[in-house]
Every structure is written in structure tokens, then in C-alpha cells.
A and B are shown apart, each in its own frame.
Chain A
Amino acid sequence: MAEIHLNKVSKSYGDVAVLHDIDWHIRDGEFVVIVGPSGCGKSTLLRMIAGLEKITQGEASIGNRVVNDLEPAERDIAMVFQNYALYPHMSVYNNMAYGLKIKGVPKDEIERRVNRTAEILEIGDYLKRSPRQLSGGQRQRVAMGRAIVREPSVFLFDEPLSNLDAKLRVQMRLEIKKLQERLGITSVYVTHDQVEAMTLGHRLMVLNGGHVEQLGTPIELYERPATAFVAGFIGSPSMNFLDAKISEDGKEVEFPGGNTLSLAQDFSKHANRPVNVGMRPEHLHVDDSNAEKTSHTVDVVEHLGADTLVHGTFGNGGSDLTVRLSGIRTIGQGEVLPLSIDPKNMHLFDPDDGRRLEA
């Protein structure tokens, strides 16, 4: 059990800075997820917490102990690697027992702990096998088992599910979540998959190019993305972005083709300012009433079963727009749909730095 403090943590390789001033306080027992596109520095940050990379600047502490100069072994952590990193020449049992043996835990206690962990993860039948005799999913469980059996104060995961097929991934995701809740051990989980991030994390850190874009709960990130990057990254299919301008009176946005949509709040302090309007596909609906609306010219329709994705062009301006409608809809190409959106669900971003604009 431990909390983790990151205080202006930075990393550079020579002259190349890959992480900039990361501040984060991870609470005891919390499950946090670091998410971001490939190459943004997620693994590097996790590896700095693990002690596998030196911290160039700043300070990291685990459970009130500054760990900058501690070896990985001294940090009381366990890590699950993307490729599992099971010792190929040891049986599953010995893989799990290795860390305990080094710690000098008595033999009968090792046996008890390994067996109990194996039972939790349902790998009891494979204890005598060698890792290459296991399927990907089973290896994944062994890797988890090796981490759990040591009863560390922090779990670190680096994309542990990315080598599994889609179905198994969903199943293991749920198991990891349940396991973490049951054990209550502070966990840091790295992924580039936003669905994994949203479903697993109590809180998320969205990283982009070594900078923190936003910290928050999944709901906060979805409802109030701090930047256009976060808005586009969280949610699937991703948010639509349209160029527009705030009207003279600050009560609506004007699109290039002459369409307008009204805003939920008074944006008059930003009057006449060019903006990037974000609308999630699932927040747009077909509206046959007389309410204010805009048109959508259908181009391609995708049927997902539960939902229908309608790709097309927005209003008279011709920008691309995707709409997600629930259920199965029969819509033809070239059809013009009347669309409306609740003004509360419109997000405005600065077109230059991508920051969210507030009224």
C-alpha cells in the first residue's frame, strides 16, 4: 500500500527531452492509467517509477520515500511487461517463486503463496509447465501472478493486454479491474487504448509529446476535455471538429457555409473569435421537429449492429462529419438528414493552441 508522488519529473536522452515536468499525486489504492499515442513517453514515465530509467530531473516518491536513487528491487513494486518477460528456462511455479526466493521467504510459505495466487488466477494446473507450453492468455496470467505473489505496494503495467486477441483482451481487462479492487494495491497502468483507459482507471493521465494534456476521471475527460487533443483522443468514433466563428453577440457559432448553432452559455467575451467546434458523433441526432438544426449530406453508412455510423458532410461548408445513431437505420447515400445537438454538448477550442474556451 503506498501513494506515489511525482514532482516535476522530467526525462531527456542527451539533448532530446521526452517528458516535461510531470506532476502527479497518485493516492493509496488508486488505479490510474497513463494513456496517449505511440511515442508520447508513457512507457518511459512508468519505467522511471519502476527504477528502470534514471529520472533526469524532479523527484519521485513511493509511500513517502524518495526513490530517485533506489534500485528497482528496493522500491517494493512489481511490473507486468508487454511481452510478459517470463523466464523461459523456469517452470511457471519457479517464475512465480523467483522473487520470493530472493527475498528469503521460507520454502513452505513460498509454496503456500504461489498456490494461493495460482488459484486466484486459475493457473493452478500449469504450475509445472514451462512458459512456452502456454497460450498467450495463460502467459499473461502467469505474468500477473508473478507480480501479485510478491504482494508489492505498487503494481505497474505496461500495455499488458496488447498481445492478446480482442475477445481475450476484454475478458482480461475485466479481471484486472476486479483483481485490483479486491487487492486494493496502488496500480499504474499504461496503454494507448482509450477504451482500456476509460474502463480501468479511477483517474487518467493523457500524455501527448511528453506533456500532460489532462488529468482527471474518465467522466471528466469525456465531458470536459481540456484540450482538442484529449477531446479527439477520448471517445470512439472520435469527436468531430469544425472550424467556425463566435457570433457578434456571443450567443451562437457561425459556420463558413452560413449555418449557425446556438451556444449554451454567453461567449460574448470571445465575440468574433475563430474557434474549433467539437461535437461527439453520439451527441448528434436526427431531428424532424422545427427546432434549430443543420443539414448533413450522407456519404457512407456503416452498420455496427447496435449503432449506425453515418459519414457525410456538414451544412453548406462541406466539412466532414460523423454521426452515430442508435439501432439499425436504413439511410441511403446522398440523403440529407436534419441534425440537431444539445448546446451543452458542444465544445469550443482555441484553433491555435487547442485549449478549451470557457464562457
Chain B
Amino acid sequence: MLKRVHFEPSFLPFLLVAPQIIITVVFFIWPASQALYQSLLVEDAFGLSSEFVWFDNFIELFGDEHYLGAFQRTIFFSFSVAFLSMAFALTLAAMADRVIKGATTYRTFLIWPYAVAPVVSGALWVFMFDPTLGIFTYTLGVLGYEWNHKLNGGEAMFLVIIASAWKQVAYNFLFFLAAMQSIPKSLIEAAAIDGAGPTRRFFSIIFPLISPTTFFLMVINVVFAFFETFGIVHAVTQGGPAKATEILVYKVFNDGFIGLDLGGSAAQSVILMLIVISLTVIQFRYVEKKVDY
């Protein structure tokens, strides 16, 4: 039996949790409930009156091919970002795991991109690929390819994917490296004695053993690409050209603040909220179950 400890009633504990609760209420609960409420209203064109319409906004959304298009685009975008950044991070981690000299320096450099804000990351890539000034544009031009992501939707998508993935590589790298280093060295040695070369060891021993981390990162990266790439898209393409890079978070902003359809935009953000909640649930359920080889 645990012994129960009784404390004198005091304000101190309440005082200590107060900042956290205030932050949650002001920055999460209140806006979320506002969004929920807004999503059930329709405002007139001049913003003078609003009408309660129940779920009309949602019904309209799911009949809107622009919205469904944005949905598909977002799924393509998210999985591309997740796949690209994880594949790249995994390669780097596998290499770093074998590095002996200067390992710390190498790792420090690889972690830096994570400290860069999404907008800044976006700005960097915009400069490099700028149709008139960018160094990559110039290089591609020399090689005979004309790059212009302001006109070509596919190129624009490619650019936001690269910019977002680049930002996540550092984070994924850290987790992959930690996972690889927690594999007992003797397992790798046993496999080496069993005759497996480095590539075979990677695919038959290391990769299966870090699969829990891979799954965890998969969810994290999809969440990132879904919700935290607004800054990158805003800096790189503003959703263009012709909505080619308008992913869901960006559409919320576009419809709400540019198009002034507050009800529709609120409904979109409620849907996003539901997605994030379900992804979080998946994540937690998995964390509780933990590793299962």
C-alpha cells in the first residue's frame, strides 16, 4: 500500500499550475471553441450580420471540388514530405552511426536546420530557386532546364516539399541516430560474423529494430506537414500558382482572411482539428503499447 500524504489546503499548487492553464485556455480552448461556433454560422457579404446554419458549412465543403482537391494535395504533400525527410535522415543517421572521428561535429551540423523557423527555411529555398536570381535556377538554366515555380505548379509543389522536408531532416536524424545507437553492438557483430555485409545488416537487423521509431516519426512528420508548413508555403508560393500548392492549412487562411468566408474557413479548421486529434490518439495508443517485434 502506498501511504497517502496529506497536504494542508493551500493556494500554492493552484498558483503554480495557473500559467499553464491560462495559456491553454487563451491560446487553445478559447480559439478552438470560437472556431467551432463560427463553423456553424454564415456571415453576410459585409460582415454585418450572421445566421446560424447548423452543419451547412461542412456539407458545402464536402461538395466543393476545390476543397476535396486541396485534401488530396495535402495528403500527397504530407506523405512526400514525410517520406523524403525520413529517407534522407535515415541515410544520414546510418552514415553517422558508422562515423568514429569527428562524430560530434558532424552531428551538431546536422541538427542546425531544426533551429531554423519554417518561414526562414522557406525564404532560403525561395532565394535559391528564384526564377530570376536563384542560384539553382541559374544552374538548372545552364544545364538546359528552365525553372519557374511561379508558373509551373509541379515545380512549385516540388519546392515546398523540399523546403519542408529539409526542415524536418534534422529532427528525424536525431531520433534515427538515437534509435540506432540503442541497438546493442553485439547484435551487429553477430550479424557480421554470420556473414552479413553492411547493407544486409542494415536491412535485416537495424531497420527492423528501429521500426518503432520509424512509425513514431511517420506520425510526427505527417502532423508537421499537415499543420506546421503554413510559414513555408506562405514564404515560397502563397499557395500558387493557381492553387497548385494550396494545402489545407493554407486554404483555411486563404478562404478566411483573403476570401473572408469566415464560416467556411472555420469549418475547415474544425476538420483539421479532428484530424490532429485522431493522429494524436494513434500516437498515444502506440506509445502505450510500445515496441513489439
Contacts and interface: CB of A to CB of B under 8 A. Distances in A.
B200 A73 contact: no
A228 interface: no
A130 B194 contact: no
Interface residue range, chain A: 20 to 34
Contact of A89 (B190, B192, B195, B208): B208
Nearest to A130: B293
A219 to B, nearest CB: 33
Interface in A70-100: 71-73, 77-79, 81-83, 85, 87-89, 98-99
Nearest to A50: B193
Nearest to A88: B293
Contact of B186 (A51, A81, A98, A99): A81
Contacts of B184: 83, 85
Contact of A98 (B189, B194, B209, B293): B194
A206 B210 CA distance: 41
Interface residues of B, number: 18
Contact of A77 (B193, B204, B208): B193
A99 B193 CA distance: 8
B189 A72 contact: yes
B194 A85 contact: no
B196 interface: yes
Given A83-B186, A89-B208, A102-B200, A78 B193 contact: yes
B189 A73 contact: no
A102 B186 CA distance: 18
A82 B187 CA distance: 11
Given A88-B293, A89-B208, A79 B195 contact: no
Contacts of A167: none
Contacts of B204: 98
A247 B204 CA distance: 70
A130 B194 CA distance: 19
Given A81-B186, A85-B184, A85-B187, A99 B209 contact: no
A103 interface: yes
A11 interface: no
A81 B192 CA distance: 13
Contacts of B200: 102
Interface in B181-235: 184, 186-187, 189-197, 200, 204-205, 208-209
A81 B195 contact: no
Contacts of A98: 191, 194, 196, 204
Interface string B53-68: 0000000000000000
A289 to B, nearest CB: 58
A50 B208 CA distance: 26
Given A81-B186, A85-B184, A130-B293, A73 B193 contact: yes
A89 B293 contact: yes
Contacts of A85: 184, 186-187, 189-190
Contacts of B192: 51-52, 71-73
A151 to B, nearest CB: 13
Contacts of B195: 73, 99, 102-103
Nearest to A152: B193
Interface string A44-85: 000000111000000000000000000111000111011101
Given A79-B193, A98-B194, 6 more contacts: A52-B192, A72-B189, A77-B193, A82-B186, A87-B187, A99-B194
29 contacts: A51-B193, A73-B196, A73-B197, A77-B193, A78-B193, A79-B189, A79-B193, A81-B189, A81-B190, A82-B186, A83-B184, A85-B184, A85-B186, A85-B187, A85-B190, A87-B187, A87-B190, A87-B205, A88-B187, A88-B209, A89-B208, A89-B209, A89-B293, A98-B194, A98-B204, A99-B195, A102-B196, A103-B195, A146-B194
Interface of B: 184, 186-187, 189-197, 200, 204-205, 208-209, 293
Interface of A: 50-52, 71-73, 77-79, 81-83, 85, 87-89, 98-99, 102-103, 130, 146, 150
